[in-house]
Amino acid sequence: MKKHINTWVALLLVLGLCAAGIALYAGSVAPSLFGPRLIAQDSQGRVWLVVNHSLFITDAVGNIRKQRDLSGIDGGMPVNGLARLPDKDGNARMLVAVIGQPAWWVMQDGEIAERFVPQDVGGALDEAFHVMTRPDGAIALATGGDHRVLRHDPQGKRLAASKHGLFRFANGGEYIAGDDGKGLWLVPDTNHHALRFLDQDTLTEVRAIPLSGGWVSMARAGRTPGQYTVALMGNAMDTGRVVDVDANGATQLTYPLRKGAKPRGLAWLGDTLLVADADSFTFQAFGRDGKPLGDWGGKDLKAFLDKAGDEAHGWRIATLIGQIVGGVLVFTALTLYFAGKHWLTLGMDPGEPLNLSQLATPRPDARTRLKLTLGLLWPSMLLLPVVLIMQFAADIANWMTTIAPPAYIAQLSVQVGLPASVIASMIVLLLALGMVLLLVLLQFRVNVKALRDPRYEGLVALRAVRWLERSRDVGNALQPGESVREVLFAGRTLVWVLTNRRLLEFDRSLSENTLARALPRSLTRATLTRTRWMPGRTTLRVEGPGYDHSEVVRSPVTAARIAALLGQGVGSDAWAPLPEWSSPSLATGPAPATCMLLSALWPGLAQWAQNRFKQALGLMTAALGTYLFTIGPILLGVYGHHYDVHTSTILTGAAAMAVIIGIATWDALAYARRYRPVTVRP
């Protein structure tokens, strides 16, 4: 019955994995569908647009004149720069820049005419950036990675940089020509909530306009003199609004965008403001008075936008459905697993109660347990009073040193350059840390002594006794006339139960029938040794026909009693060659080679085949998490070309998966070796 429940749990986990994989893939595709993004107008009045990974060149009203697919040359990264360059040989030119690419494109009529390589930019191109151009061909780069504005000549040589620390995320602006022939670079400072005007040559700040009501991401010169059109974004820089502000930063006009709009591009086409909205996949048009003029663009452009919007919406829905379904399946699997134990006991005959009248391991009552616990944890209970006293002492020392600090504190204050009150507080803090460390060491010493103190045996062995009282497998394993004498937790999962006839070994990691081995008491002995590398711990070595195993035990007092009892049952000739005696493992499982193959296919499968569902669930979950959050994104980047993947990331993912496979293989092989069937011959 329990195997059927575990099979359903495994099936639900596999389905949850499939749903999570769908959510992972859809979640990687949806962000790459950027929607309407950039707008620029060339010298011939044509409008250049970037939507997803496509470039459009339209006339002044949005009728498509040319379309170019950029997916083969943008590397899956967003085009983040689109700015007009001076004409060359009568051809209008545009500068097109992509995040993460060191060389940009100079395009004529949608075709790459030449490359532009900005020099001395450091790591600025790996983060979001924006480009601005001047009528003479000078190029300014507003970087979000290193928070600067850089100016380059038409050949790419860097000529100037803004003052370090002036910006906190420089964003998309433009060049504003002045009446005196000398213009300024208008650059939004996102995290400082300001518009900054920089000298066109030196990039020194000329003036700034403080803003409120959001984080500014884009700014353009307005159509009313002295006003500026800016996009103010919310906390996540996702949704926002577009407003006109005056020279003091006061809002003069708010453009009525659709609810939940995500402005990604701004451009004034004459007296018409064009806003690229990545939420509705539209270009929204407004008059200079803020009146909506409807969705901008010709029939073909709108059809493309509608199709692209439906595709992006579909991938977002697939991501959401995959997350919900995957979460529900995993939750159902976990609920079924943990509730299965309770369901299996419903309607079943509990059988005869286990007779523990001859159990030597103490079973203290609640009052005795409380008394023993208080006697064991008194050093830890002193931690809170010590911390409070030291805090009070620190306040007193701070107050005293502020009035008249002692000479040695005053001298130390001069030497280290810190106020005397800070020095005094640090001294008290060090004393407090010393006291805390002393109490921790004292608690450790008390714990070590309590492990070997017979008075605390009932508290140390409490979990083992409770397991014995609840276990059905012990009662099923006992023979007529057999009674339990001792119970002992050993290692991570083993339980040794000594009866008047046998030593029974139970493995709590097994999903059902936890009895793993039964050794005749008369042919079994135990040796007690201290574990040198683990203070206070004791190792019990159990030897029997075809069996030799050592584990660190929870209760050294109980282990010493078991060793004494087993020693009494071994005669002088017990270790002479024995007649043929088969000591098979009661725990079944695949061969070691099969364990290695199953662990390589999916960590946890070998544990599943060994009937160790808890370990299988843990390893499968670890492997699932590694695949979803490490291996999956790496494969999507390398083979799906959705983004670039560094070699270090690939090595890290491979190492993480190798570690999980190694742990699963080692655990499965160790279990297989422990319970291999053995026959001893004379």
Give the residue from 208, 140, 218, 133 showing the smallest Cα distance to 177: 133
Quote the CA–CA distance of 303 and 297 in Å, as a whole number.
Answer: 10
Domain assignment present for residue 16? The answer is yes
Residues 479 and 518 in one domain: yes
Token representation of residue 333: 């699997």
> 505 and 582 share a domain?
yes
Average pLDDT over the chain, rounded to whole?
83
Q: Does residue 102 sit within a domain?
A: no
Lookup result for tokens 């007193």: 396
Instruction: Verify that 266 and 299 share a domain, yes or no.
Output: no
274 in a domain, yes or no?
A: yes
Is residue 251 in some structural domain?
A: yes
469 and 432 in one domain? no
Query: CA–CA distance from 263 to each of 23, 37, 307, 474, 646 (Å)?
Result: 26, 8, 19, 69, 31
Q: What's the CA gap between 206 and 139, in Å, rounded?
A: 19
Distance CA 517, CA 27 (A): 50
Domain-located, residue 629: yes
132 compared with 389, residue with greater pLDDT: 132
Angle between helices 592-601 and 647-674 (to 10 degrees): 150
Q: Are residues 447 and 431 in the same domain?
A: yes
Q: End of a domain among 456, 473, 506?
A: 456
| Residues 444 and 473 both lie in one domain | no
Chain center to CA of 82:
35
84 found inside a domain = no
Residue 345 above 70 pLDDT? no
pLDDT of res. 435 = 84
Q: What is the DSSP string of 27-88?
A: HHHGGG---EEEEEE-TTS-EEEEETTEEEEE-TT--EEEEEE-TTTSTTPPEEEEEEEEEE
**pLDDT attached to residue 676:** 58
Whole-angstrom CA distances from 375 to 28, 369, 370, 380 are 57, 10, 9, 11
Rounded to an integer, the average pLDDT of 153-161 is 91
Does a structural domain hold residue 386?
A: yes
> What pLDDT digit, counting tens, does each position of 282-310 carry?
999 999 999 999 999 999 999 999 999 99
Q: What is the pLDDT of residue 613?
A: 76
The pair of structure tokens assigned to 537 is 């711990």
What pLDDT does residue 517 have?
A: 85
In a domain, 255, yes or no: yes
pLDDT of residue 403: 59
In order, the DSSP letters of 192-246 are: TTEEEEEETTT--EEEEEE--SSEEEEEEE-SSTT-EEEEEE-TTSSSEEEEEE-
pLDDT of 10 above 60: yes
Q: Where a domain ends, among 422, 456, 490?
A: 456
Q: What's the token pair of residue 264?
A: 């990604």
- The structural domain count of the chain equals 5
Q: Compute the 3-state secondary structure of the chain and give helix, strand, coil in percent, each to the nearest 5.
A: 40, 30, 35
Mean pLDDT of 313-320: 91
**Within this chain, do residues 554 and 471 fall inside the same structural domain, yes or no?**
yes
- Same-domain status, 471 and 571: yes
Domain holding 1, by residue range, is 1-31+295-346
* pLDDT given for residue 340 in this prediction: 64
Given a contact cutoff of 8 angstroms between Cβ atoms, the answer to whether 95 and 117 are in contact is no
For 271, phi then psi, to 5°, come to -100, 15
| pTM of the complete model beyond 0.75 | no
Do 536 and 469 belong together in one domain?
A: yes
Check whether 232 has a pLDDT greater than 70. yes
pLDDT of residue 643: 55
- Reply yes or no on whether the pLDDT at 264 is more than 80: yes
What's the per-residue H, E or C state across 379-390?
A: HHHCHHHHHHHH
Is residue 481 located within the same domain as residue 435?
Answer: no
Q: Which of 456, 472, 493 is the last residue of a domain?
A: 456
CATH number at residue 556: 2.30.29.50
Are 487 and 566 part of one and the same domain? yes
Over residues 465-479, the mean pLDDT reads: 85
**479 and 431 together in one domain:** no
